[in-house]
Amino acid sequence: MRRYILPAAAIAGLYAANRFLLLPRTSGPLHTLLAWYFADFLAGGLMLCILNALLAAARRPPLTRPLPVSAFLLACGAFWEYVTPLYLPRSVSDPRDILAVWLGGMGMLILQTRKNTR
């Protein structure tokens, strides 16, 4: 379970850097990318870290194969984009956010897999 703390902390640091340092200092397409999709990208990696930490706490094997991880991330992204706007008025649906969540989670899977094979 401890092996997921460092990646989760790094994601939190990247989120804070994006929100408080990068967004106020950027403009144009980079600002749009950071403002609209970077947090979703980071969320995908964080979701996988949290899920695998909970599985480790329950003494279950972590998700390490692309298909189950993809199913989990796509389900989370779809919920976030299509169900959340039904109960949270300030939330809007953007299907590209699902792709950002998936990419972030798959990036985290690759990092975790490479770390475990070394």
What's the predicted TM-score (pTM) here?
Answer: 0.90
Where helices occur in 58-94 by DSSP H, the ranges are: 66-78, 84-87
Where in the chain are the domains? 2-117
CB distance 113 to 64 below 8 Å: yes
Sign of the torsion formed by the C-alpha atoms of 82, 101, 47 and 72: positive
Condensed to tens digits (0 to 9), the pLDDT of residues 53-112 reads 999 999 999 999 999 999 999 999 999 999 999 999 898 889 999 999 999 999 999 999
CB distance 81 to 94 below 8 Å: yes
Condensed to tens digits (0 to 9), the pLDDT of residues 3-59 reads 899 999 999 999 999 999 999 999 999 999 999 999 999 999 999 999 999 999 999
First to last CA, the chain: 18
